[in-house]
Amino acid sequence: MGFTVAIIGRPNVGKSTLFNRIIGKRVSIVDDKPGVTRDRIYAQVEWRNKKFTLVDTGGIEPESEDIIFSKVLRQVEVAIENSDVIIFLLDAKEGLTPTDEDVAQILRKSKKPVILAVNKVDNFEAQSEAAFEFFKLGFGEPVLISAAHGINIGDLLDRIVDFIPEETEPEYDEDVIKVAVVGRPNVGKSSLVNAILGEERVIVSDIPGTTRDAIDTLFEYQGKKMVLIDTAGLRRKSRVKEDIEFYSNLRAIGAIERSDVVLMVIDATSKIAEQDKKIAGLAHEEGKAMIIVVNKWDAIEKDDKTIYKFTEEIKEEFKFAEYAPVVFVSALTKKRVPKILELIEFVMNYYTFRVEKKMLRDLLEEATTIVPPPVIKGKRLKIYEAEQVAVKPPTFSFVVNEPELLHFSYQRYLENKLREKFGFEGTPIFFKIKKKEKKKD
């Protein structure tokens, strides 16, 4: 999960406003594909070339009829347990409250680094004197900010990244395939990792990542180098189910971001949950190749239609990732586990595949002849240029007369044509739409 920073504080001090201000555009990922569930309570942030995961604890308050303080207390406990640095957010207008002092008392005992941020400062000269009362909490000089107006946010970010160590994530050669094993708690991720790394594989080395307790395992399979990015279980079981899911999601984000191929593990013995779709949605949005691994297949009573029914259900639930191949395995008996390794190589070939410009032009010519581009408000879409501009994932740039005319449904049609012609199994396809510039006189 990498370096984690949590924003804590009592209700209405502006936690979510600060979170949204820091992450900026990250929160508004536009994706019309159905079924991609978004969680807006954590995000990756980069500042001064350092990355960290920012957590808005306001978004994870368990539903409770209890008094406000017990909610704040729960947030604080979870944040302390799972974060490297804590932003303690206070309200300049309301001043220091007894609840703030109680939270400060807990934070002092935790020995975790704490940055005081005093929010809702709209007159810095007048309120900088008032901020002196926050000094007595014993966390050093507070950073005066206005999350709503974006004032002094850079100063706050500077304070955060000063705590992040210089060490970087391990760098791997281009030919090493980076694989993340993700999924809900208890779907059998650890057993699957052990099965993949069975005795017949040559384990090259274990490399500590920057995550507190994760290990990357570099190994070879049929001459191909792969690295398993470990998303080890939580260090301590949380008392609340939501916390376990929340922090296992955070781990998944870190692993997904560093990977090429995501093994999305689901449990054959339980129904596909919202959490499964959430994690798969993260992999899709990050543009990673994906394989859906159905584990515990040995525990299912089967007939000749079972595998077909399961596959249909998966395709329906993971509509946004219809491209992902599905493999049914048992980590316990190791049945079909080698098939996963074959599939990793298979989808990686498509993840890095490039379409020649002429072939792309021919395909577009054919596709637009069969189904002409749409006419919206009397204007027809014209595609002037098209080329593949990136791999990992395959990304195509289209220069058009009016970007809004390239509607999602026609994009989907073009994507399907690309898949029909070139395969692209296991990988999302991204489109970049540009408006043709008018030539200057």
Domain of 121, CATH number, reads 3.40.50.300
User: What CATH number did the domain enclosing 416 receive?
Assistant: 3.30.300.20
Could you give the angle at which helices 68-82 and 98-110 cross, rounded to 10 degrees?
20
Cβ atoms of 386 and 303 closer than 8 Å: no
152, 273: one domain: no
Q: Which residue shows structure tokens 């970087």?
A: 168
Residues of the chain with pLDDT > 70, as a percent, come to: 80
Average pLDDT, integer, range 322-350:
96
> Which helix (DSSP H) or strand (DSSP E) does residue 399 occupy?
strand 395-400
Between 234 and 248, name the one with better pLDDT. Answer: 248
Number of domains in the chain: 3
Specify whether 371 is located in the same domain as 338: no
Same domain, 222 and 152: no
Contact 76, 103 (CB under 8 A): yes
pLDDT beyond 70 at 72: no
Angle CA 204–205–206, to nearest 5: 150
The reply to whether 40 and 148 lie within a common domain is yes
Shared domain check, 187 and 322? yes
Domain extent at residue 423: 357-435
- Cα 105 to chain centroid distance, Å, stands at 33
For residues 132 and 27, membership in a common domain is answered with yes
Pair 282, 138 in one domain: no
Is the preceding omega at residue 393 within 30 degrees of 0, hence cis? yes
Cross-strand pairs, 101: none
- Name, in order, each residue with C-beta under 8 angstroms of 2's C-beta and a sequence gap of 6 or more: 51, 52, 53, 169, 210, 211, 254
What whole-number distance in Å separates Cα of residue 354 and Cα of residue 391?
A: 7
Classify residue 225: in a domain, yes or no: yes
Residue 2 has pLDDT above 90, yes or no: no
243 neighbors 78 (Cβ within 8 angstroms): yes
Average pLDDT, the chain: 83
Say yes or no: 118 and 208 in one domain: no
Q: CA 307: distance to chain centroid?
A: 29
80 contact partners, CB below 8 Å, separation of at least 6: 86, 106, 107, 110, 112
In this structure, the answer to whether residues 127 and 156 fall within a common structural domain is yes
Q: Decide: residue 169, CB within 10 A, 0-12 exposed, 13-18 middle, 19+ buried.
A: middle
Measured distance CA(157)–CA(162) in Å, rounded: 9
The pLDDT tens digits of the residues spanning 137-180 come to 999 999 999 999 999 999 999 999 999 987 656 778 889 999 99
Please identify, among 162, 193, 210, the residue that sits at the C-terminal boundary of a domain. 162
Name the E strands within 41-162: 42-47, 50-56, 85-91, 114-119, 143-144
- Do 367 and 321 belong together in one domain? no
7-25: average pLDDT: 85
Residue 171, domain member (yes or no):
no
Q: Does residue 362 register a pLDDT over 90? A: yes
pLDDT for 128? 67
Is the pLDDT higher at 374 or at 337?
A: 337
Tokens of 127: 């309120």
Interval 300-335: pLDDT, tens: 998 889 999 999 999 999 999 999 999 999 999 999
pLDDT band of residue 111 (cuts 50, 70, 90) is confident
Question: What pLDDT was estimated at residue 422?
Answer: 96
441 inside domain = no
Average pLDDT on 283-290 reads: 95
Q: Is the pLDDT confidence value at 427 over 80?
A: yes
Terminal CA-CA length for the chain = 53
Q: Which of 357, 358, 272 is nearest to 317 (CA)?
A: 272
